Amino acid sequence: GAVVSQHPSRVICKSGTSVKIECRSLDFQATTMFWYRQFPKQSLMLMATSNEGSKATYEQGVEKDKFLINHASLTLSTLTVTSAHPEDSSFYICSARDTRYEQYFGPGTRLTVT
């Protein structure tokens, strides 16, 4: 089956630093990947849609200069949280869409900003 990986699975960083999270589709090519965040006991909220070779589309209220998304290849998208603040602490999940338009989710990355 389709597998999506994320790296790192858990990261702790200091306020003001930047953190990069990678999302890879391991056994299929994904022209579109999605980035979500989930706060404790809340729903998954779509942050942005990442298209290979073009700029990401951000959802309303998501700062594109803070959450930099790069979809460099058909198997890799990266999310960089710039100048991280404690309120950016969350669980970040990516998903990748295959040619059948099914979405497969990565295992998530727990970000803690101290």
Residue numbers of the site for other proteins (CB under 8 A)? 4, 6, 9, 32, 34, 36, 41-46, 49, 91, 93, 95, 97, 101-108, 110
- Tokens for 111? 């970000």
Closer residue to other proteins, CB minimum distance, 59 or 83: 59
Nearest approach in angstroms of CB 81 to other proteins is: 18
CB 101 within 8 A of CB 2: no
Least distance (Å) from other proteins to the CB of residue 70? 20
Find, among 44, 50, 43, 85, the residue nearest to 64 by Cα. Answer: 50
Considering beta carbons, is residue 13 or 82 the nearer one to other proteins?
13
- Token pair in block for residue 67: 């959450």
DSSP string, 1-14: ---EEEE-SEEEE-
Q: Which is nearer to other proteins, 43 or 54 (CB)?
A: 43
